[in-house]
Protein backbone atom coordinates (compact mmCIF):
# COMPACT_ATOMS: atom_id res chain seq x y z
CA UNK A 1 0.00 0.00 0.00
CA UNK A 2 2.75 2.46 0.93
CA UNK A 3 4.41 1.89 -2.45
CA UNK A 4 1.63 3.97 -4.01
CA UNK A 5 1.99 6.81 -1.52
CA UNK A 6 5.56 6.97 -0.27
CA UNK A 7 8.78 8.14 -1.90
CA UNK A 8 11.01 5.53 -0.18
CA UNK A 9 11.19 1.74 -0.06
CA UNK A 10 9.51 0.62 3.18
CA UNK A 11 9.92 -3.11 2.68
CA UNK A 12 11.33 -4.64 5.88
CA UNK A 13 14.64 -5.65 4.30
CA UNK A 14 15.22 -2.11 2.94
CA UNK A 15 13.89 0.08 5.77
CA UNK A 16 15.16 -0.47 9.29
CA UNK A 17 14.17 2.46 11.53
CA UNK A 18 12.88 5.88 10.44
CA UNK A 19 12.95 8.52 7.70
CA UNK A 20 11.48 11.87 6.78
CA UNK A 21 9.87 11.55 3.36
CA UNK A 22 6.98 12.49 1.13
CA UNK A 23 3.75 10.60 1.77
CA UNK A 24 0.88 11.37 -0.61
CA UNK A 25 2.51 14.71 -1.49
CA UNK A 26 2.93 15.81 2.13
CA UNK A 27 5.98 15.69 4.40
CA UNK A 28 5.90 13.06 7.12
CA UNK A 29 8.17 11.02 9.34
CA UNK A 30 7.80 7.26 9.02
CA UNK A 31 8.99 5.12 11.94
CA UNK A 32 9.16 1.34 11.79
CA UNK A 33 7.40 -0.06 14.88
CA UNK A 34 6.85 -3.78 14.40
CA UNK A 35 4.40 -5.54 16.70
CA UNK A 36 5.70 -9.06 17.22
CA UNK A 37 5.81 -10.65 13.78
CA UNK A 38 3.66 -7.94 12.19
CA UNK A 39 5.43 -5.20 10.26
CA UNK A 40 4.02 -1.87 11.45
CA UNK A 41 4.79 1.82 11.06
CA UNK A 42 4.05 5.07 12.86
CA UNK A 43 3.33 7.99 10.57
CA UNK A 44 3.99 11.44 12.07
CA UNK A 45 2.81 14.63 10.40
CA UNK A 46 1.31 17.99 11.30
CA UNK A 47 -2.38 18.29 12.11
CA UNK A 48 -3.43 19.78 8.77
CA UNK A 49 -1.67 16.99 6.91
CA UNK A 50 -3.29 14.36 9.15
CA UNK A 51 -6.75 15.58 8.16
CA UNK A 52 -5.74 15.13 4.51
CA UNK A 53 -3.75 11.90 4.94
CA UNK A 54 -6.27 9.82 6.91
CA UNK A 55 -8.81 9.43 4.06
CA UNK A 56 -5.98 8.99 1.53
CA UNK A 57 -4.46 6.15 3.61
CA UNK A 58 -7.87 4.61 4.22
CA UNK A 59 -8.68 4.59 0.48
CA UNK A 60 -5.29 3.04 -0.36
CA UNK A 61 -5.75 0.33 2.28
CA UNK A 62 -9.26 -0.51 1.02
CA UNK A 63 -7.87 -1.01 -2.48
CA UNK A 64 -5.73 -3.86 -1.10
CA UNK A 65 -8.45 -5.31 1.13
CA UNK A 66 -7.18 -3.63 4.29
CA UNK A 67 -8.28 -0.98 6.70
CA UNK A 68 -7.35 0.61 10.00
CA UNK A 69 -6.21 -1.76 12.73
CA UNK A 70 -5.53 -0.61 16.25
CA UNK A 71 -3.00 -2.05 18.66
CA UNK A 72 -5.77 -3.71 20.70
CA UNK A 73 -6.97 -5.63 17.63
CA UNK A 74 -3.48 -6.96 16.96
CA UNK A 75 -3.04 -8.02 20.60
CA UNK A 76 -6.42 -9.78 20.57
CA UNK A 77 -5.31 -11.78 17.52
CA UNK A 78 -2.17 -12.87 19.34
CA UNK A 79 0.24 -10.95 17.12
CA distances to 28, 51, 68, 72 from 25, in Å:
9, 13, 21, 30
Range(s) of the domain holding residue 40: 2-76
pLDDT in the model for residue 45: 94
Q: Residue 73: which pLDDT band, with cuts at 50, 70 and 90? A: low
The count of domains in the chain is 1
pLDDT in tens, 4-63: 888 889 887 888 899 999 999 999 999 998 888 888 888 999 998 988 988 898 888 888
pLDDT in the model for residue 61: 86
pLDDT in the model for residue 78: 54
**Cα–Cα dist 7/74, whole Å:** 27
SS3 assignment, position 11? coil
pTM, 2 dp: 0.75
Amino acid sequence: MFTKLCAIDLRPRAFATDAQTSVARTTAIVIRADLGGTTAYHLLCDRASAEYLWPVLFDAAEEFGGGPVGHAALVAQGR
